[in-house]
Chain A
Amino acid sequence: MSHAISDSLVVTKRQWLQLIRVPEVLIFSTIQPVMFVLLFRYVFGGSISTGLPGVDYVQLLMPGIFVQTVAFTLAGTAVGLAEDMQKGLIDRFRSLPISRAAVVFGRALGDGLLNIVVLCVMGIAGFVVGWRPSSGIVKVTLGFAFLLLFGFAMAWVGILIGLSVRSARVANAAVFIAVFPLTFLSNAFAPTTGMPKPLQYFAEWNPVSTMVAGCRELFGLTNLFGATADSWPSQNPLQASLIYMVIIMAIFIPLSVRKYINTASK
């Protein structure tokens, strides 16, 4: 058991080393969300009304961008694993006397922790464009912890995708198709009230929406962009998000581990 943990940590450490050896990857993966911040803050933001006097759009936007960014880190997970498969590195790992879950656990943990760096950059970018959370240090920290947990849960989805597709390029495309609608059919950027009714229901049950609403709460805002359909998730976003994360992990952790163990046995 202690080996299982230390093996996982070796794999996690590998990702940090990769980051140090090729820092460009991190730079470019944070440029995109920063561009989103600027785009929504200054281009679209002017025409989206928060509906509340005294609350800038940027206060609502930043939690949305955080969740979107964290959700998209599973692309890195999937692509990285698909590359390891392609290059035979997974074969090598599987030929080593290590715990059978170490490689995938280490990976999920590594990508989960990578989000710390990404969120720091995003937080600073948000601050620069006027984001000011009003809930105090404890709740703000809790908000970021919540985001990291979400990232960890989503990494497992990335792992299963990475181990299941044929190449890194397919992994990238598959992730995009899965995550893009989830992040936009949500309350992350615009109020769900403007959507057609069926879409409203989807958006309010969407885990991205509950995450965004949950973060908004933790950062000191009332849930402004979501409670139109009167659904339980939009009324209780934090609880709903936690349930979603537990469900995601309960499904994807066993599937990913099994996939890894059997990956060549076909």
Chain B
Amino acid sequence: MAKATTLTLMKSVIAENLVKTYDKGKVRALDGLSLDVNEGTVLGVLGPNGAGKTTTVRILSTLLVPDSGHATVAGIDVIKDPGKVREVIGLSGQYAAVDETLTGWDNLVMFGRLYHLSPQSAKKRAEELLEQFSLTDAAKRSIRTYSGGMRRRLDLAASLIVRPKILFLDEPTTGLDPRGRQEMWGVIQSLVKGGTTLLLTTQYLEEADSLADEIVVVDHGKVIARGTSDELKRQVGGERLEVVSESKDLDQVAKIVASVTGANIKRDDDLRQVSAPVTSGSRALIDAARALDEAGIHPLDIGLKRPSLDDVFIALTGHVAEEKVEEVAPTRGRRKK
């Protein structure tokens, strides 16, 4: 008995066979999705728009009731006992859900009060979080003046007021510029070091790669693959050398790429592109560039390409990640990404 209990306790989040349809069954946002997250780890939920990522997060965070299926968070049933679940989770959505007319400080104090902190503790916690997220200087400014990255950080800070055991982040970096994304990753990484269990959705393989211990790939409301990022990449293939050249040079380019990489090449005459998997990284790039130069060929483009979400999808499903219309958003009129 002891053993069984320990095993279930170690799963912070369990979702089994979640089904959710919209428009009277016409749109199947979730089609039997199952996943689980081990305590103290990060699960990355990877998929294109409309795959069901947001719907999953909304169900697990009690905002949405599934048509069927079962889910527990910290051992609590999200459908039967949503109130208790809300006490242990933090949620940060795709867009910064803070009051824009107020200052960062106002927002954090307000949410602190709504988590039933005393006025003093709410203020103290707001101060700590602003400090932690490098927002102290902007604390007394209206959110309207914040950059996208600052808004996201404040949104995240608001979800951390009571130090939740389990945190849901729905596409935390979508719409951010590269710098904002880097900052956000840093913040998330330090949270995870603190032992927070995290479920994070993303459209970027790179993001799942750098933040998640384990990744599930979702498509059409189902999990189609799961594993560590290394395991997934093995399925997808690693880096590829890609050369684009004039059509007349393509035969020769193909020969050179084949000999440099010693692997099976892929040739696309329409795109005037030759590519092949490489294991030696930049070495292969330099060798190829040198060989092409000696042959007097100046490619239009040459480079190493890391697998993208599309590559994962092509490898796993044989089709590219289709963009469906994002699930009929209950928060209507939401910006589509």
Contacts and interface: CB of A to CB of B under 8 A. Distances in A.
Interface of A: 3, 6-7, 10-11, 13-14, 17-18, 21-22, 85-98, 102, 166-167, 263-266
The 7 closest A-B pairs by CB, nearest first: A88-B97, A264-B330, A97-B86, A92-B97, A167-B333, A95-B91, A97-B87
B64 A265 contact: yes
A261 to B, nearest CB: 10
Contacts of A10: 110, 113-114
B334 A88 contact: yes
Contact of A85 (B91, B113, B331): B331
A265 B331 contact: no
B98 interface: yes
B283 interface: no
Contact of A14 (B64, B65, B95, B110): B110
Contacts of A6: 113, 116
Contacts of B331: 85-88, 90-91, 264
Contact of A21 (B61, B86, B95, B102): B102
Nearest to B94: A88
10 contacts: A6-B116, A85-B332, A86-B334, A88-B95, A92-B158, A94-B63, A97-B83, A97-B86, A167-B333, A265-B65
B303 interface: no
Given A89-B99, A96-B114, A265-B330, 4 more contacts: A11-B114, A21-B106, A88-B94, A166-B333
Interface string B90-112: 01011111111111001000110
Contact of B97 (A13, A17, A21, A87): A87
A166 B111 CA distance: 26
A17 B103 CA distance: 9
Contacts of B111: 92, 96
A87 B93 CA distance: 10
Interface in B38-83: 58, 61-65, 83
Contacts of A13: 110
Nearest to B89: A95
- Give the dominant DSSP class at B's interface: loop
A72 B334 CA distance: 27
Contacts of B64: 264-265
A7 B114 CA distance: 6
A60 B96 CA distance: 48
B114 A98 contact: yes
B142 A3 contact: no
A93 B114 contact: yes
Interface in B223-263: none
Contact of B93 (A92, A167, A266): A92
Contacts, number: 96
Contacts of A94: 62-63
B63 A95 contact: yes
Contacts of A264: 58, 63-64, 330-331
A228 B61 CA distance: 58
A90 B91 CA distance: 12
A87 B333 CA distance: 9
Interface in B139-194: 142, 158
Given A17-B106, A21-B101, A264-B63, A88 B93 contact: yes
The residue in A18, A85, A92, A264 that gathers the most chain B C-beta atoms within 10 A of its C-beta is: A92
A87 B95 CA distance: 7
Contacts of B95: 87-88
A14 B113 CA distance: 11
Contacts of B330: 263-266
A14 B102 CA distance: 8
Contacts of A3: 116
Contacts of A18: 99, 101-102
The residue in B98, B333, B334 that gathers the most chain A C-beta atoms within 10 A of its C-beta is: B333
Contacts of A95: 61-63, 86, 89, 91
Nearest to A25: B101
Nearest to B168: A95
B133 to A, nearest CB: 17
B250 to A, nearest CB: 49
Contact of A89 (B22, B65, B97): B97
B259 to A, nearest CB: 54
Contacts of B100: 87
B15 to A, nearest CB: 17
The residue in B94, B116, B158 that gathers the most chain A C-beta atoms within 10 A of its C-beta is: B116
Contacts of A167: 332-333
B332 A166 contact: yes
B97 A91 contact: yes
A164 to B, nearest CB: 10
Contacts of A89: 97-99
Contacts of A92: 91, 93, 97-98, 111, 158
B311 to A, nearest CB: 31
Nearest to B112: A10
Contacts of A265: 63-65, 330
Contacts of A97: 83, 86-87, 115-116
Contacts of A93: 114
A97 to B, nearest CB: 4
Nearest to A95: B91
Contacts of A7: 114
A22 B97 contact: no
A141 to B, nearest CB: 32
B145 to A, nearest CB: 12
